[in-house]
Amino acid sequence: MTRKTMAALALMTLAPVLAQAEAPRQNALNLSATASQEVSRDVLGVSFTTTKEGTDAAQVQSALKQALDAALAEARKIAKPGQVEVQTGNFALYPRYAPKTGQINGWQGTAELQVEGKDTAAIAQLSGRIATMNIARVGYSLSREAREKVEGEVVAQAIARYKLRAADYARQFGFSGYQIGEVSVNTADSGPMPMAAPSMMRMKAAGMADEALPVEAGKATVSVSVNGVVVMTK
């Protein structure tokens, strides 16, 4: 048997399979269903920052380090695994140029500190005790544990709605039932909620440096979508 004959036989064998794969599925119906549930955000995140500038790079860097060290000393007092996490953020130093000559006429730098956790009361109190850095951002988010706690319920609701919709549509099209084909289940929750934060400089000017930052958690929405194809049956 020649190679051409073998190739022809292979194509003849594959032809029905390819035709079947390319043919549209009979009585197939694309469906989607969603379910969602609100849950209280339980993680508070506060970002602190400071900016220093001067003519000497080493002095600017030293001033940034002192401000960050002082803030870290306060933050570490409340740090607890699983409750309050503390980490440093961006620490950068860059030259400042004169607009006319383009020559370096000074240095400017920034440092960041990030505090996040479920002990929202301790974090809110901490914001009033850090005097060397300003509050840059405040936001609430949903912890993985809180999301997973409700996610199972929402998934069940979404699947139940998908099945109910499949049965209803099949009946309206004159079929007695359906078979589930390809299905995807996707989960999501609303992201961190940014909040406007009062400047620590303004708080200190008003004699409020030791007071807790006023915060409100709000709600997050856990959503689940079910998308797929069902085949309606007689």
Distance CA 146, CA 42 (A): 8
Question: Please, which residues bridge with residue 48 across strands?
Answer: 113, 135
Burial zone of 111 (CB within 10 Å; 0-12 exposed, 13-18 middle, 19+ buried): buried
pLDDT of the chain, 234 residues: tens digit per residue: 555 444 444 445 544 544 444 445 789 999 999 999 999 999 999 999 999 999 999 999 999 999 999 999 999 999 999 899 999 999 999 999 988 888 999 999 999 999 999 999 999 999 889 999 999 999 999 998 989 889 999 999 999 999 999 999 999 999 999 999 999 999 987 766 555 444 443 444 344 456 677 777 788 999 999 999 999 998
> Treating both helix axes as pointing N-terminal to C-terminal, what angle do 120-129 and 57-76 enclose, rounded to 10 degrees?
140
Q: What is the pTM of this model?
A: 0.70
Question: What domains can be seen in the chain, in order of their start residue?
Answer: 25-41+143-191+218-234 (3.30.110), 43-141 (3.30.70.360)
- Tell me phi and psi for residue 80, to 5 degrees: -145, 135
Q: How many CA atoms lie within 13 A of 64 on its CB side?
A: 26
> How remote is the C-alpha of 35 from its chain's centroid?
19
Spatial contact of 163 and 90, defined as CB atoms under 8 Å apart: no
